[in-house]
Structure 1
Amino acid sequence: MSRSARPGTRREILEAAAGLFAAGGFRGTSLQDIATAVGCSKAALLYHFDGKDTILSELLAPAVAAFRELDARLAVLDDRAVRLAAVEGFVDLVLRFRREVVILYHDIQDLLRSMAFAGVQEMTDRLLDALAGRSPEPEARTAALLVLGGVPAACAASGGLEGSGIRGDLVRSAARALGLPAD
């Protein structure tokens, strides 16, 4: 079977896997589940991808790349400016990659140990530090953890609220949680 025999199969596999990973988690989804959802055999699926880890890596690659860009932007900011930039950048990232964030957060501890996500834990630690204003104080770190966990949870639960100003609401709420002025 040539790759051109059924154009779009690779994309179909990624889409089916994304839906299944978001609903049941990475560990809770088998290659056979993905193949069934696509309407192909497991062998056909393995023709396109080496395995489930490869599917996940390709699926999350754009989100990880965007996270790396945010990490680089935050690295050059001073402690005062970094907090609001971190809030806005994180909210934008989560809104842009909502489904991918749900997938990642579902099995985060297992996924972060994977070589495919090398560096993501360190970027997450730096984001937490930026959200805390690079403060070592427990109160600042706890508020940053609240934002780091709460923004994705709020996004996942928001359903079809994208057009209702959810970005502004999330930025203002996160800013308040961090003790920043919320315009």
Structure 2
Amino acid sequence: MTRVAPETHDEILAAAGRRFAQTGYRGTSLQDIARDVGCSKAAVLYHFANKEAILTGLMDRPIGQLRELDERIAATSSPAEAQRVAANGFVDLAVRFRREIALLRGEFPDLLQQPAFSYIQHVPERLVSAFAGHSDRPAARIAALVVLAGIAETCGEFVDIPDAQLRSALLALVHRALEPVN
């Protein structure tokens, strides 16, 4: 049964998040989201101009936090501090926004081309550099990339693990995998 009154912004975002996680961004239509909310496609379009605007709404907070982390890393005074800030900050982001990260799985490279994601197009390279302690050594950069990608790719799988426990496990992994910076 379709409700007559337009649904709220948050209900649409929640339904879109669930749907994107199940069928992917590309595999989800505005009609799918409307059906999940129990409203018309027009009601969804009343709140959001298009599907990209819904994705932007879902990712506003994570992108804002990623921007803040990028600025904190840029303000560090040493490679060791950059590595520590990047590791702690990225793990915190991954734990806090694991559901949002999971819904992007497999589609992230394509989604980076959308205007809403323009800021973060170069952040992954800066994170790899910070995780590697700004080292040019291939082993350090490889370890940094594998750790970052692994956290981003798998964090959404652990929605049933308490935040503190997941954070602790991820930081232990990061410390074992990355070369310490002197």
Please give the TM-score of this superposition, normalised by the length of structure 1. 0.90
Name the stretch that deviates more: 145-154 or 25-34: 145-154
Please report the RMSD computed on the Cα atoms of aligned residues, expressed in angstroms: 1.8
**Partner of 2:26: helix, strand, or coil?**
coil
Q: Aligned pair count?
A: 177
Percent identity among equivalent residues? 45
Q: Which residue of 2 aligns with 1:125?
A: 125
CA contact 1:132–1:140 (8 Å) conserved in 2: yes
Q: How far off its partner does 1:164 sit?
A: 6.3
| Cα distance in 2 between the residues matched to 1:165 and 1:87 | 16
Summarize the alignment of residues 53-92 of structure 1 with structure 2, pairs less than 5 Å apart: 53-77=52-76, 78-92=78-92
1:47 to partner: Cα distance = 1.3
- For residue 97 of structure 1, report the CA deviation from its aligned partner: 0.7
Q: Which residue of 2 aligns with 1:103?
A: 103
**Secondary structure of the structure 2 residue equivalent to 1:80:** helix
Letter in 2 for 1:43: A
TM-score, normalised to structure 2, is 0.90
Q: Which residue identity does 2:175 align to in structure 1?
A: A
Cα pair 1:21 1:103 within 8 Å, conserved: yes
Secondary structure at the residue paired with 2:9? Answer: helix
Mapping 1:12-91, distance limit 5 Å: 12-77=11-76, 78-91=78-91
Distance verdict in 2 for CA 1:19–1:136, change over 3 Å: same
3-state secondary structure, aligned to 1:151: helix
CA deviation map 1:53-99 (0-9, x unaligned): 00000110010000000000011111121112211110000111111
Q: 1:14·1:55 contact (CA, 8 Å) conserved in 2?
A: yes
Q: What amino acid is aligned across from residue 90 of structure 1 in structure 2?
A: F
- In the aligned structure 2, how far is the partner of 1:101 from the partner of 1:164? 18
Report the secondary structure of 1:40's partner residue: coil
Deviation at 1:110, TM superposition (A): 0.9
Distance 1:81 1:151, change over 3 A: same
162-171 vs 56-65, greater mean Cα deviation = 162-171
- Paired with 1:54 and 1:114, the residues of 2 have a C-alpha distance of 10
Q: Which runs of 5+ in 2 are unaligned?
A: none
How far off is 1:163 after superposition?
A: 5.5
SS at match of 1:119: helix
Work out whether residues 86 and 131 of structure 1, in 8 Å CA contact, stay in contact via their aligned partners in 2. yes
Q: Give the Cα–Cα distance (whole angstroms) in 1 for the partners of residues 73 and 145 of structure 2.
A: 17
The more displaced of 130-139 and 152-161 is 152-161
How far off is 1:133 after superposition? 0.9
CA apart distance, 1:154: 3.4
User: Deviation string for 1:16-66 (max 9, x for gaps)?
Assistant: 001111121111111111011001111111111110000000110010000
Give 1:10's aligned residue: 9
Q: 1:33 to 1:7 in 2, by over 3 A?
A: closer
CA offsets 1:162-183 (integer angstroms, 9 cap, x no match)? 16622111101012111339xx
Report the counterpart of residue 170 of structure 2 in structure 1: 170
Contact 2:129 2:135 in 1 (8 A): yes
Unaligned runs of 5+ in 1: none
